[in-house]
Structure 1
Amino acid sequence: MRRWSPDRGQTEPLVALVAVFAVAVGLATYAGTLSSALPEAERNHARDVLPEVEAAATTNGVVDPATLRSALAAGPDGPSLAVTLSTAGERWHAGPEAPPDAETASTTVSVRVAPGAVRPGRLQVAVWR
Structure 2
Amino acid sequence: TYLLQILRLSKTATGHTTTGQVVNLLSNDVSRFDKVLMFLHYVWIMPFQTVLLTYFIWQFVGISALVGVGALFLQTVPVQGYLGKLTSKLRLKVALRTDERVRLMSEIISGIQVIKMYAWEKPFEKMVALAR
- Higher helix fraction: Structure 1 or Structure 2? 2
Q: Which has the larger radius of gyration?
A: 1
| Greater RCO (Cα-Cα under 8 Å, separation 6 or more) | 2
- TM-score w.r.t. length of structure 1: 0.29
